[in-house]
Structure 1
Amino acid sequence: MLVVLSALRSRLEDLLTERGQQILVVVSPAAQSDREARGVPYPMLSVAAWDDRRQLSALADELAALPVESVVTTDEPCLRAAAFLRERLGLPGQSRESATAGTDKHIQKDVLTAAGVPVAGHVPLDSVADIESAAELLGWPVVVKPRRGFAAIGTLLVRDQAHLDRLRASGAFGPQALPASLHASGIHRGLDHASGGLMAEEGIDVLAEFHCEILRHQGREVYAVPGRYPGPLLGTAVLGSVLLGRDDDHTQQVIDLARDAADALQLVTGFAHVEILLARSGDLLVGEIGLRPGGAMLPHLLRLQHGIDPWALSADLAMGLIPQVALRSGGPTVAWAAPIAPPGWITGMDSADELRKQPGVIDVHQLVHVGQQSPTRVGTLTPAGHVFAVGDTAEQAEARARQAATAWQITTSDRPPHEAPPVR
């Protein structure tokens, strides 16, 4: 039996079920209710908090009576819990030390620094009240984030003292209205009560932000594919990416630095998603590294560009199979961009078919429809849809994807559909 810890999405367990594997899925109570309503075919157990040692110990005792072969996950909030269960059950896999370095941003940057991997200056914080003292040490601006955060949720760039005062007055450090499925991670509590504490780091003047998707199997590199975001994640409202070819000026540097970061975190078998900052000074720094596949639509982008399916490869690893990949060479470059719907109730929007008529567009995913409420953006999550376009160069593909996303007309109203106008 394979035990799958699942916090954000069900793709891995769905694939394992399709392949006829016997699985047991551990989810949050909210996710369990949602999946029971969907009628999923696999059994489930739930934990209310991924970092609750008491609950995990009880879960380990329950699993010890079952024929568990491995404990797997592709979700960052579950990495430490999965490592804890493996250790308790005497199963192979990622160690607790590696899982901690992959999920605690302060420990991670200490590990990277010790390995000679360049990162921004950083300090741990006991609370939001320590931001001023961190700024005295690091200088303004500072980036404040939960040490155990993900998808940029709760991450704030604080420009100066006056900006800090405004953020405090607005309640920016307090609880966040996030989907119930995320509550088991504790991320909804906000920076005032962040599970695992806070950290502050130098606010680097970032010219560009890259990422590198890595997969290794028993120390062998299966692939290392670099890409570039439309802009620094903390400085742009546009979500997306374009994968870089060998002729790009930064390709090899990004790959080399990502490999160094993966080495520092003892990645032997599994995925890494490494984010790398290009500072105005010209230096490249590792922003963060997650020991899991890249999120949002990066897996689909890899599939369109190179025929790589990270979810299928995740299932291979879970089943003890050797991942087989042959990267495509040549051909056009693929880019992805995600439009964000204006707030309110959606009253009109272009069809996906209309967007497919835009130059270079090869695929469109529509996530919202007329009559629905526009989703609130959660970090780098919950856009209105996704657009994929091709070009002869990375720049052309990126421009086409962004142009199509911008052209996606979505109108909203502050009133729900069919609501009677107020009596005046």
Structure 2
Amino acid sequence: MHFALLTTGRAVFEPAVLDAGHQVTFVAPFDRVAGLRAQYPGRLVVATRSWDDEAALEEVEAQLPDDVDVVATIDEQAIWAAGWLRTHRSLPGQSQDQALGYTDKAVMLERLQAAGLPVAAFRIVTNDTQVEQAAHEVGGFPVVVKPVRGQGAVNTFPVRDRAHLDELRAQGVFSAAEADASGRFGASARLAALSDQGGFIVQRYIDMDGPGAREFWCDVHAFDGEVLLAPAGWYDTPPMTAGGRHRYWASLAPDDPEVTDVKKLAATAVQALGGATGVSHVEVLRDRHGALWVGEAAFRIGGGKWQAYSRQYGFDTPTVLTQLAAGQRPPIKDLTPCHPVLATLSLAPPAGTVTRIAPAEQIGALPGVVEVDLRLREGDPVPAPIGVVPMSGRIVWAPTGSGQDSIATEAQVLIDALRLEIAPDGTSGDRQ
């Protein structure tokens, strides 16, 4: 088959498609074209100036070969563009309209709400002067502010009350854009300031302050409407409020009662949004009273999650993505996990220069550790995050239990074993 792969340079999907023997044409932002041509000589690489502009996509469509069978991507900023191209080429897969439901959060919430799913009340505003009125309309402060099209919790934050709103406005938070530390957002406006996006969302804050409150994730693998596999787990703390510190999450056993209802709700959300074939990453929140709420969904694998559950269930996620994109049913239904639970420690040290860190081989030899991906090197600066998504690496391990307290203890053991020291500008270094 002939794949048109929409990519920003994160080489997860591309090797699997090529290894499967498919013909590939790449579509990428202008600043990624030269690198792709050097990496894949002889392959056609089509440049785009925008993933979000229809005129730009018309230019792309005109340059694609006539025999393209599949349009695919795992880059969230290119999901709608892929849907647009499929619709205009009459190709199978997620349509332009279905992709809109995954990439426009206002449309997403409206569709989830229309399907009878529990979502927090929300309003769309055009500027920060309307936030207070919107807050009153959704039930009062606190509220969460988020972009209509965002990524990695970029420009997503709680507003506690009127005084906090005034403080945030004075700080210029609503007019601040996120820096493109990865260099992968040149054709996307997802890192733009809230004030530059033509509107943003004010949503009721779900009360997560309590011992029973928790945020869950679920990656729903579906084929032709059938759920084949739905790995699920929890975060140690909601990602939106986890900035500036190491965090961890767990991938639980398929029969763990804590995620039974989470997986059912996530699968229903995917059905409502039209994710019939592919992988959807769904966030589900359990409030302090035990009620479940659908947070958001994305038509992609969960960043940092798939590496763990691939090992847990013993399959290769990029290969499964390739099969799903090609309209082939992957053999992943009713898999028995080789690890009942896998946990992931995501490293998020403060900005500065790494002055000390244990070798990856030493960490990999610790009991229970199954994968180490360290992106911190002595003498190098700490990689900047994208929103609240850290880019410093992760450690995946098989914990001795599934309880949050025991996993927290083991996570701290790993943090201590790293012996990580960071020198902020003008200092000699601090232990992290």
Task: Give yes or no for TM over 0.5.
Answer: yes
Change (3 A) 1:121 1:80: same
How does 1:107-186 map onto structure 2 within 5 Å? 107-138=107-138, 139-173=140-174, 174-179=176-181, 180-186=183-189
- Cα distance per residue 1:183-222 (max 9 Å; x no partner): 322122211212x631110111122100111111112221
- Counterpart of 2:353 (choices 339, 345, 350) is 345
Q: Which moved more, 1:234-243 or 1:393-402?
A: 393-402
1:264 aligned counterpart, secondary structure: helix
Task: Determine whether 1:19 maps to 2:20.
Answer: yes
**Aligned CA-pair RMSD:** 2.2
Write the deviation string for residues 51-100 of structure 1: whole angstroms up to 9, x where unpaired: 1111111111222x531112111222111111111111121211222111
Contact 1:143 1:157 in 2 (8 A): yes
For residues 31-70 of structure 1, the C-alpha deviation after alignment (integer angstroms, 9 at most, x for no partner) is: 324434656663311212111111111111222x531112
Which of 261, 275, 282 is residue 274 of structure 1 equivalent to?
A: 282
Query: 2:411 pairs with 376, 389, 401, which one?
Result: 401
Identity %: 31
AA matched with 2:166: D
Cα deviation for residue 341 of structure 1 reads 2.2
Structure 1 match to 2:301: 293
Distance 1:374 1:40, change over 3 A: farther
1:9-34, CA deviations, whole angstroms, 9 ceiling, x for partnerless residues? 22111221223321011111223244
In structure 1, list runs of 5 or more residues that go unmatched.
Answer: 418-424
Deviates more, 1:408-417 or 1:134-143: 408-417
Partner Cα separation in structure 2 for residue 41 and residue 156 of structure 1: 45
| Separation of aligned partners in 2, 1:75 and 1:33 | 19
What SS does the aligned partner of 1:189 have? coil
Q: How do 1:200-349 residues align onto structure 2 when only pairs under 5 Å count?
A: 200-206=202-208, 207-236=213-242, 237-246=245-254, 248-295=256-303, 297-325=304-332, 326-329=334-337, 331-349=339-357
d(CA) in 2 for partners of 1:157, 1:119? 17
For residue 102 of structure 1, what is the aligned residue in structure 2? 102
Q: Which residue of 2 aligns with 1:421?
A: none
Cα deviations across residues 367-414 of structure 1 (Å, max 9, x unaligned)?
Answer: 121121112222243332211111242124454235313542322334
1:90 and 2:90 matched = yes
1:47 aligns with 2:57: no
Letter in 1 for 2:357: M
Note the C-alpha offset of 1:249.
Answer: 3.8
Count of residue pairs brought into register by the alignment: 414
2:384 maps to amino acid: T
Check the 8 A contact 1:388/1:401 in 2, yes or no: no
Deviation at 1:359, TM superposition (A): 4.1
CA-to-aligned-CA distance 1:266-305 (integer Å, 9 cap, x gap): 221111111000111211000001122112x211111121
Alpha-carbon offset, residue 143 of structure 1: 0.8
Runs of 4+ in structure 1 off by over 6 angstroms are none
Offset at residue 247 of structure 1 (A): 5.3
Using the size of structure 1 for normalisation, the TM-score is: 0.91
**C-alpha distance 405-38 of structure 1, shift in aligned 2 (>3 A):** farther
- Aligned partner of 2:430 in structure 1 is none
5+ residue gaps in structure 2? 428-432
Over 3 Å counting, the alpha-carbon distance change for 1:192 and 1:406 in structure 2 is farther
Mapped to 2, the partners of 1:299 and 1:115 lie a distance apart of 28
Q: In structure 2, the residue corresponding to 1:383 is in which secondary structure?
A: coil
Does the aligned pair in 1 maintain the 2:150–2:191 contact within 8 Å?
no
| CA–CA separation in structure 1 for the residues paired with 2:116 and 2:416 | 41
